[in-house]
Structure 1
Amino acid sequence: MPSGYKIINPFVGEQKQQVKEVTTAFYKKYYNDTSTRRLILGSSPARRGTAVTGIPFEDAKHLQSETGIFIDKFYVNKSSSGFLYDVMKEYGGCKKFYTDFYMNFVCPLGIVRINAKGNEVNCNYYENKKLQETLYSFIISAIRSQINFGIDTSVCYCIGSGENYAFLSKVNSEYNFFNTIIPLEHPRFIMQYNSKRKDVFMEKYINALCS
């Protein structure tokens, strides 16, 4: 990694056993089959979200309710996963949603930047050109691996209609992973800046996922 950046991998370190238990319980509950699913890709995991739990877009509070496993020290409910849970409920519930979709990230490992005060802050793989170049081959490999899970490549839903969508579209034009990519606004953007229009964005999500 370039100087000042660090990868967060939930499957190594002091939390790895707990992460293994949580991910095993979750994936056995929702993915223990051979169904073909469509792919939903965010940019990269948040350092106190998926980068800790190991499960895309799932925070600790929701995971406890879904798996019965308490994630110590990280019991935080995030607005992004809260919005997506509302979308799942509207779609027909978690079971139906996860039967039809697989969620992950363009860069499936978390990235943090060390700021001037020495603190770790969230960042995305597209933050600067050098970081993007460093992670490029890993990103391509990760997308290929996820497609090999048994993904319907006719469409990919991109969470993040700005830089994440632009990068994924560029990659797709070179590698032809998907027939089409549909951009969707990031839940954090919706809840932080457009919460009063939440229903409008939820309808957009549902219409896209049901098309």
Structure 2
Amino acid sequence: MTTFADKAISYYSSLEAPAGLPPGIGVMNPYQEPEVQRIVREFFTKFYSDTTPRVYVLGINPGRFGAGVTGISFTTPQNLDRYCGIPNSLPPTPELSSRFIYQIVEAFGGAEAFYGQFFLTSLFPLALVKKGDNGAPKNYNFYDDRQTTETLWPAITDTVRTQLTFGAARHVAVCLGRKNETYLRRLNDQQGFFGRIVTLDHPRYILQYRSKETAAYIDRYIRTLADCLA
């Protein structure tokens, strides 16, 4: 029996950075690092060693301090240890999205309960970066310029199509981010991957611009995700 974990581990271990991106756009591929390869094996073996379909929750592309470091969506090294029980030697990194997501994970009863029902992923699987005004890299989204979007569109299509084979509950998908919704709906119109799409505000947006309303957003997340399981 080939499990969700088997397929996911094989996929992530074979990821390569795309060619032909516009000048100044870089890609982080942590899956070539031995420590990340170990983390990916341990994470998926721990939470996905079965054939149970999951509801997919799709972000944009990983941030450089979350999956860009750990290889696990919306998960910093410290949250990987604290909430998933996977110690690691990676340096701690700050990421607002990870902080919010693990409040949701805990509200669902913890990592085992949450990941037993959901799969966190992204339309494009690798972190994108661009040099900021101070010369340091900053997060970049695949939709931040048209050339990057169109260059990556075939890879985005292949990414989602392949990840569906892990074990997707295809009646619904949860989209994280209002602008991301435009592109997921475009993809779904082209490919018919999901029966319907429901959208939630992106965790980074919530904590950066609506932090005083965090409790209300957590409640909205929980109700929406629970509805998707019905």
Given the superposition, is the C-alpha separation of residues 67 and 20 from structure 1 closer, same or farther in structure 2, using an over 3 Å criterion? farther
**TM-score, normalised on structure 1?**
0.93
Q: Is the 8 A contact 2:59 2:121 kept in 1?
A: yes
Q: Cα RMSD over matched residues?
A: 1.3
Aligned to 1:69: 87
Q: 1:7-50: CA deviations, max 9, x gaps? A: 111112xxx01101111111111011111111000000111211
- Contact 1:2/1:131 (8 A) holds in 2: yes
For residue 195 of structure 1, what is the aligned residue in structure 2?
211
Query: What is the rounded CA distance, in whole Å, between the counterparts of 1:72 and 1:8 in structure 2?
Result: 15
Rounded Cα–Cα distance in structure 1 between residues aligned with 2:219 and 2:203: 13
The count of aligned residue pairs is: 206
CA–CA separation in structure 1 for the residues paired with 2:219 and 2:134 = 41
For structure 1, the 5+ residue unaligned runs are none
1:21 aligns with 2:38: yes
Residue by residue over 1:59-102, the C-alpha shift from the partner in whole angstroms, topping out at 9 and shown as x without a partner, is: 110112223422333x1243211211111221222111100011
Contact 2:176 2:201 in 1 (8 A): yes
For structure 2, which runs of at least 5 residues remain unmatched after alignment? 1-20
Pick one of 158, 173, 181 that aligns with 1:165.
181
1:99 to 111, 116, 120: 116
Q: Percent identity between the aligned chains?
A: 33
Residue matched to 2:12? none
Query: Which deviations, in whole Å up to 9, do the C-alpha atoms of 1:165-187 show, x marking residues without a partner?
Result: 11111111111111111111111
- Give the structure 2 partner of residue 129 of structure 1: 146
In the alignment, the residues of structure 1 paired with residue 108 and residue 86 of structure 2 have an alpha-carbon distance, to the nearest angstrom, of 23
* 2:17 matched residue in structure 1: none
